[in-house]
């Protein structure tokens, strides 16, 4: 079992590929494919990572979650592990938090990969454990702790 969770721990998931569905990602984050793959590997893998636009993510979020708006990252376990990230949302969140878009992208890839491995954040204890895991993984790849203020 995953510590503090009722869900079983999952073994590492291979990161198969990074698909840049929205070429504007390359202007937002230099070497975006390498960064996304590195963050996923550090977190135990994420399957396929799709770097999409807000419109694509909004459509998927409406279809699969009943929410007709884009979100930063969608995580799918079936039929194969996959993370789908929305460029506009990621860029806006990074700017609002005064963080580099590359750092925020790495954080969201790690966050999604941890979801695929059974982590969750619906309860305060789970959230704290997930935040600590994210911070440790990001530190290993040279990304500042997104939970540290200041």
Q: Hunting for tokens 């990252």 — which residue is that?
A: 73
In the DSSP assignment, the letter for residue 9 is: P
Say how many domains are in the chain.
1
| Helices and strands (DSSP H and E) totals, the chain | 6, 4
Taken in order 20, 24, 26, 32, the sign of the CA dihedral is negative
Residue 68 predicted with pLDDT over 50: yes
Q: What is the CATH number of the domain that holds 110?
A: 3.40.390.30
pTM score over 0.95: no
Q: Is residue 99 part of a domain?
A: yes
Q: Take residue 12 and report the two structure tokens written for it.
A: 């590492």
> pLDDT digit string (tens) for 98-130?
999 999 999 999 999 999 988 888 777 888 999
Q: Determine the Cα–Cα distance for residues 144 and 103; give it in Å rounded to an integer.
A: 7
> pLDDT digit string (tens) for 69-98?
999 999 999 889 999 999 999 999 999 999
Q: Could you list the residue range(s) of the whole structural domain that residue 24 is in?
A: 15-140
């Amino acid at each position: 079992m995953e510590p503090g969770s009722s869900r079983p721990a999952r073994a590492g998931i291979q990161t198969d590929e990074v698909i840049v569905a929205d070429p504007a990602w390359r202007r937002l984050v230099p070497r975006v494919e390498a960064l996304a793959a590195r963050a996923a590997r550090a977190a135990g893998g994420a399957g396929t990572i799709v770097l999409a636009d807000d419109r694509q993510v909004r459509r998927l979020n409406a279809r699969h979650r009943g929410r007709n708006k884009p979100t930063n990252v969608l995580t799918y376990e079936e039929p194969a592990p996959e993370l789908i990230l929305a460029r506009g949302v990621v860029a806006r969140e990074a700017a609002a938090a005064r963080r580099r878009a590359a750092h925020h992208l790495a954080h969201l890839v790690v966050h999604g990969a941890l979801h695929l491995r059974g982590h969750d954040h619906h309860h305060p204890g789970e959230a704290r454990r997930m935040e600590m895991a994210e911070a440790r993984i990001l530190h290993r790849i040279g990304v500042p702790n997104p939970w540290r203020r200041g």
